[in-house]
Amino acid sequence: MCGRFTLQISPEALAKGFDLEEVPLLEPRYNIAPGQPIAAIRHIGDRNKLDFLKWGLVPSWSKDPERAPINARSETVIEKPTFRHAIKYNRCIIPASGFYEWKVTGDTHKQPYYIRFNNNSIMGFAGIWEKWTAENGSEMETCCILTTVANEVMKPIHDRMPVILSHNDYNLWLNRNMHDPYELVRLYEPYPSDHMTTLQVPTLVNNPRFDSPSCIIQV
């Protein structure tokens, strides 16, 4: 799964990486957690746009907005009612600098690891989003991240990882005129492990309220 990640990227790098005309000033984040607003890129009109969506998907028909999955398994995303509409019509890209995963050691201890690209370049997670309207008319836009099987780097830590898109596939993923989810299946392959590295990091990241560069210092 993917339950925490980081984003510490300059506006210029975001604009170049995702073909954005405007980028808001983003504070560096080192421990982004579920339920928080996260940056998401969508194709709106004739351009890519960065907005902030709540992490935890609430489909438009939901009667319980508290039940909000943060991940969707790519193998079943087409079949599940919660995700079926979004994967066809509402795809987005979640930019990240890296993500965390926990390895169980012993009976109870969970050791956090930080996973990033070798060259510290931007990751683009495959995401889906929805708009939910409350009875009082207020609206909430939410999203979640697709996951796939682990690559060779991730397997010693966890059996799942986020779907990381190749830069060449960004336009296809964001194309709102492409409604055949089966055309996307090839994008769900785990990202090549030779481009990624893992770092054992402090358990400070276990506290979602702790957001500091200390989270990603190798121990």
How far is the CA of 153 from the CAs of 67, 90, 103, 113, 114, in angstroms? 32, 30, 13, 11, 12
Look up residue 26 and give its amino acid: L
Residues contacting residue 45 through CB under 8 Å, at least 6 positions apart: none
Query: Residue 157: helix, strand or coil by DSSP?
Result: coil
Which residues are designated catalytic? 2, 101
The whole-angstrom separation of Cα 40 and Cα 38 is 6
> Reduced to 3 states, what is the DSSP secondary structure of residue 141?
strand
Q: In what order do the strands lie in the sheet with 98-105?
A: 29-32, 5-7, 98-105, 109-117, 196-200
Closest Cα to residue 26, out of 12, 11, 15? 11
Instruction: Show Cβ contacts of residue 66 under 8 Å, excluding neighbours closer than 6 positions.
Output: none
